[in-house]
Amino acid sequence: MQYKEVGIKFDNQPKIYSFDPNNFELSKDDFVVVETIRGQELGKVLTPVNELKNSPKEPLKKILRKADEKDIRTAEENKIKAKKYLSKTKEFVKKLQLNMKLIYAELMLDRSKIIISFSSEKRIDFRELVKMLAQEFKMKIELRQVGSRDEVKIMGGIGICGRPCCCCKNTGDFEHVSIKMAKNQGLSLNPTNISGLCGRLLCCLAYENKLYTEILNQMPKVGSEVTTADGKGKVLYNNLLKKRVQVKINDTINEYNVEDLKFIKNNKNGNSCGNARCEECAVNKKEIKK
């Protein structure tokens, strides 16, 4: 049995989802109608139909049909309607004096349900609000509380780098980000410099962390002693991207390519660090051979 998949992207979401093409002939940029856990949605083909060698871990949902002009027109009308519904919802929120910030409203393609995203520092009892909205809109209401990172992902924005935020364009699911990643990259730990519009650590720290970690494993520790062509000296600074090391020898400061240095790499577990230029590992190898 042959298994096929096609990559579909939805409006306002950077992630690409896999669906069963259901024997439809699809090309890149075609619009399709699919059934998701949220309801019927209009999606856009971003990656062509691909044959899978093995069956997927979970059965893929099938594409319902190729979208026609009516579907595309309905989707555009829904965006306008959703803004009006969001405005009306704000009136109800104000009337009920609920401490919640409304972010975004989205109508399903068949207009059977509206999803309203909001943020709040506290848990909100919105049961009365849902009743009022259901009576007003005559459809199923779903209120979804999101965090600060999700808020930026939905609304979009420009990061400190001058480009659109990674969560809006480049990433699908949020990755774990830690202060250690900023340290690995030699960044200032000033919260202003390493925080995004959401107030949380920058997503790009995780995106670039793997490269910086690999380079760090090749570099000597700052403050350690290394052997250069000009003698032994103390490491003052590592330029990770250029893989150059600033070394102080007596009263002179020089820069060297890391490949030209011999050094002892500190390893807490006592095992070989795997660095070809580590003098300690080289001695251990000789002892093993003996």
Give the per-residue pLDDT at 157. Answer: 84
Token representation of residue 209 = 């962390």
* Other beta carbons within 10 Å of 175: 14
pTM for the model: 0.70
CB distance 156 to 165 below 8 Å: yes
The lowest-confidence range among 70-74, 78-82, 170-174 is 170-174
Give 119: exposed, middle or buried? Use CB within 10 Å, 0-12, 13-18, 19+. Answer: middle
Angle at 80 between CA 74 and CA 82, to 5 degrees: 95
In this model, does residue 188 exceed pLDDT 60? yes
With a pLDDT cut of 90, the percent of the chain lying above it is 47
Q: What is the mean pLDDT of residues 67-89?
A: 96
In this prediction, residue 254 has a pLDDT band, given cuts at 50, 70 and 90, of: very high
Q: Are 44 and 82 in contact (CB under 8 A)?
A: no
| Residue at 27: amino acid letter | S
**CB hemisphere CA count around 136 (13 angstroms):** 17
Please report the domains of the chain, with CATH numbers, ordered by start residue: 3-67 (no CATH), 73-146 (3.30.300), 150-216 (no CATH), 225-289 (no CATH)
DSSP-assigned states of every residue in 175-196: PP--HHHHHHTT----HHHHB-
- Mean of all residue pLDDT scores within the chain: 85
Residue 169: predicted pLDDT: 72
- Please tell me the distance from the alpha carbon of residue 232 to that of residue 248, in angstroms, as a whole number: 9
Give the tens place of pLDDT for each residue, 278-289: 555 554 444 434
Q: Comparing C-alpha atoms, which of 241, 277, 239, 244 is closest to residue 258?
A: 244
* Residues 206-244 pLDDT 10s: 878 888 988 888 889 888 999 999 999 999 999 988 999
Please, are residues 264 and 227 in contact by the beta-carbon 8 Å criterion?
no
* pLDDT tens column, 23-37: 899 999 999 999 999
At 273 the pLDDT is 45
Q: What's the whole-number mean pLDDT along residues 249-267?
A: 84
Cα 134 to chain centroid, rounded: 34
Look at residue 170 in the predicted model and tell me its pLDDT: 65
Tokens of 267: 């390893």
Mean pLDDT of 66-94: 95
Average pLDDT over residues 54-71: 91
Residue 103 to residue 115: CA distance in whole angstroms: 11
Q: SS3 for 235-275, per residue?
A: EEEEECCCCEEEEEECCEEEEEEHHHCEECCCCCCCCCCCC
pLDDT in tens, 107-156: 999 999 999 999 988 888 999 999 999 999 999 999 999 888 888 887 77
pLDDT number for residue 253: 93
